């Protein structure tokens, strides 16, 4: 009688019986132990192949968040004797790196945990720590900058409103040189300061045209505001 052809789940069950624990290791430069991707692959792949199972990613999505790559992955485990017989394991991983290795680290992390969880392996390990500090895109510094930007926009609007309340050139010049106005302007960004200065000049030209009959736009634009 011919041997019964096992389905992928039966093959996986047999593979689970051949490996039940992966030892953590301590790599050079680390002060803690981990279960690495290479250690898991070296231990698991020969066992899976021996039982007629291959695995590979069938879906991968990733984004970058600061210096961290975030990877969402699906790993497919396939019966080599019947390719339509398979199961998928959704997984994900993070890879922190200041250069360009983040995506690779994230994929390795994801595949490692897909293998560990599919075979129900014990490691005695918590999720891996990284020696590189994570710098999130939405950091406290960026939040503070966002708050400051909103405050600057409110200040700029207040200054523009105050400026437009001046109805003659002398009052406008006095407003611009006032110590309180100078102090407020110093808190603006460069772009906001230039925008306020442009509005100040434009308002001054408007006041010139209304106060000096017959003055042309060209003449008004050359009027000294002593800004």
User: How do residues 140-162 score in pLDDT, each as one tens digit?
Assistant: 555 555 666 677 788 888 888 88
Cα-Cα-Cα-Cα torsion 208, 213, 215, 221, nearest 10 degrees, comes to 10
CATH number for the segment(s) 8-118: 3.30.390.80
Query: Where is average pLDDT lowest: 56-60, 80-84, 88-92, 150-154?
Result: 150-154
Give residue 77's pLDDT band: very low, low, confident or very high (50, 70, 90).
Answer: very high
According to DSSP, the β-strands at 82-96 and 53-65 are unpaired
Task: Match 């983040």 to its residue by tokens.
Answer: 102
Give residue 57's pLDDT band: very low, low, confident or very high (50, 70, 90).
Answer: very high
Mean pLDDT of 85-91: 94
Residues paired with residue 60 on neighbouring β-strands, in sequence order: 73
User: How do residues 172-181 score in pLDDT, each as one tens digit?
Assistant: 888 888 888 8
**Per-residue pLDDT at 1 exceeds 50:** no
The pLDDT assigned to 25 comes to 62
Between residues 94 and 148, the one the model is more confident about: 94
The pLDDT assigned to 227 comes to 39
User: How do residues 163-197 score in pLDDT, each as one tens digit?
Assistant: 888 888 888 888 888 888 888 888 888 888 888 88
Give residue 30's pLDDT band: very low, low, confident or very high (50, 70, 90).
Answer: low
Q: What is the pTM of this model?
A: 0.52
Give the domain ranges of the chain.
8-118, 140-221
The pLDDT assigned to 12 comes to 94
Q: What stretches of 50-106 adopt beta strand conformation (E)? A: 53-65, 68-79, 82-96
3-state secondary structure at position 173: helix
In this structure, are residues 45 and 122 in contact, taking their beta carbons and an 8 Å threshold? no
**Per-residue pLDDT at 19 exceeds 50:** yes
% pLDDT > 70, the chain? 74
3-state secondary structure at position 24: coil
Task: Match 């000049």 to its residue by tokens.
Answer: 201
- Report which of 210, 10, 16, 4 is spatially closest to residue 119, judged by C-alpha positions: 16
d(CA 153, CA 189): 9
Task: Match 């994900």 to its residue by tokens.
Answer: 92
Give residue 90's pLDDT band: very low, low, confident or very high (50, 70, 90).
Answer: very high
d(CA 7, CA 173): 87
């Amino acid at each position: 009688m011919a041997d019964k052809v096992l389905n992928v789940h039966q093959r996986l069950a047999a593979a689970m019986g051949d490996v039940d624990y992966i030892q953590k290791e301590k790599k050079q430069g680390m002060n803690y132990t981990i279960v690495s991707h290479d250690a898991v692959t070296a231990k698991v792949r020969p066992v899976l192949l021996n039982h007629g199972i291959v695995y590979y990613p069938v879906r991968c999505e990733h984004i970058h968040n600061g210096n961290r790559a975030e990877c969402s992955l699906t790993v497919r485990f396939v019966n080599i004797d019947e390719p339509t017989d398979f199961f998928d394991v959704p997984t994900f991983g993070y890879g922190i790196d200041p250069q360009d290795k983040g995506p690779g680290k994230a994929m390795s992390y994801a595949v490692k945990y897909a293998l560990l969880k599919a075979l129900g392996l014990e490691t005695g390990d918590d999720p891996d720590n990284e020696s590189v500090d994570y710098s999130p895109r939405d950091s406290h510094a960026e939040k503070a900058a966002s708050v400051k930007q909103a405050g600057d926009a409110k200040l700029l609007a207040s200054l523009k409103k105050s400026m437009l309340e001046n109805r003659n050139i002398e009052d406008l010049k006095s407003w611009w040189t006032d110590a309180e106005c100078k102090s407020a302007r110093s808190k603006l960004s460069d772009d906001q300061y230039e925008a306020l200065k442009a509005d100040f000049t434009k308002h001054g030209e408007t006041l010139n045209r209304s106060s000096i009959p017959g003055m042309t736009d060209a003449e008004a634009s050359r009027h000294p505001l002593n800004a």
